[in-house]
Structure 1
Amino acid sequence: MNFLSVNLRGLGGALKSDWIRSIRRDQGINFVMIQESKHSGISHSLLSKFWGSGNFGWEAVDSVGQSGGIVSMWDESLFSLEVSTKNRNFLFLRGRLIGSNTSINVLNVYAPQGVLAKKAVWDLLASLIDSNDGYWFIGGDFNAVRFREEKRNCSFKHSCASNFNSFIFDPGLIEYDFNGRQFTW
């Protein structure tokens, strides 16, 4: 499966839906994770503009006013949803890879800004990871960096980076390289 995770800062405008749809088509993306939808009451017809043709499943966490919002969409011919857990800061999906008995766990994360609030989310997610077997894919906007070199034009918070690194290392997660720019905005 190929995943795309992107903070869209709002679902409005044809340019955003055209852009996501073309990336999905050109890169063979089967699973799209959007953070900061800034939208409540999301519909299938709205998301079909982002997905394009073909059947897709989806789940969403509504924004609170103009803050937050999380959307996950997937190719239903590859992933069959079994469980969905929604939280203001994450959307957890558990299902099966079609044609196999393989459990797939997907976390779409939109972390809060505060160091202590992030730590609380990391702890909650670590517990979720520990209590579910199978393969894991975790993506999103973590509002955190692992190393000073990853931070630009802002102050580096060592405690935040340490908490984030512990969240990655303690459950045995592996950070994979991604395509695109070194730093996203």
Structure 2
Amino acid sequence: MTCYFLSWNVRGLGKMEKVRGVSRTIKSSKARVTFLQEPKLSVVKPRMIERLRNRMFGEAAVIPSEGASCGLISMWDTNFFALEKKTELRKCLVLVGSLTQWKIKVGLINVYAPNIQSERKEFFDRLAESIESLGLPILIGGDFNTVKVEGEKVEWSPIRAR
């Protein structure tokens, strides 16, 4: 069996056509674990999670958005990953469990890092401490809102995205 993970900043799930498009992409990716960032929803309705899950994922965990940004949705196939513990940190969702086929205990971490420069050091220090305290192999995905070199930064524009 091949292992598939998908991590995607969806930049909002407020419109049904966007939810349908994200759902189709998740289904066609054949991902067994999916991390979504920035749904921009302070309340994530169970019906929306059901549509996103496509009957492919047995479980989901959600951290609602804070205002107009942030938020995390993690979904997984329970035949692939068996959840033992879920921890919600600010802008971070940590799942601990086993990859069932290989009987390997792992941590899966979905991240939406602060986009405010002054908050990043504390966030990354806390994330590093969390990873170290788990003492497990880790798969981490998300939107880290940072670049190694300023020249790599690309400003997103709805006009350019069309």
State the TM-score, normalized to the length of structure 2. Answer: 0.85
Which runs of structure 2 are paired with 1:89-168 in the superposition (5 Å)?
89-152=91-154
Contact kept? 2:19, 2:48, Cα under 8 Å: no
Aligned residue number for residue 57 of structure 1: 59
Aligned residue number for residue 46 of structure 1: 48
Residue aligned with 1:103, SS: strand
> Displaced runs of 4+ in structure 1, greater than 4 A?
none
What displacement does 1:153 show? 5.0
Amino acid at match of 1:69: G
Identity of aligned residues (%): 32
Contact kept? 1:78, 1:97, Cα under 8 Å: yes
Q: RMSD over aligned Cα, in angstroms?
A: 2.0
Aligned residue number for residue 78 of structure 2: 76
Aligned residues: 155
Q: Which runs of 5+ in 2 are unaligned?
A: none
Amino acid at match of 1:124: R
Is 2:14 the counterpart of 1:5? no
Q: Which runs of 5+ in 1 are unaligned?
A: 155-183
Q: 2: CA distance between counterparts of 1:56 and 1:16?
A: 22
State the TM-score, normalized to the length of structure 1. Answer: 0.75
Contact kept? 2:57, 2:75, Cα under 8 Å: no
Aligned residue number for residue 181 of structure 1: none
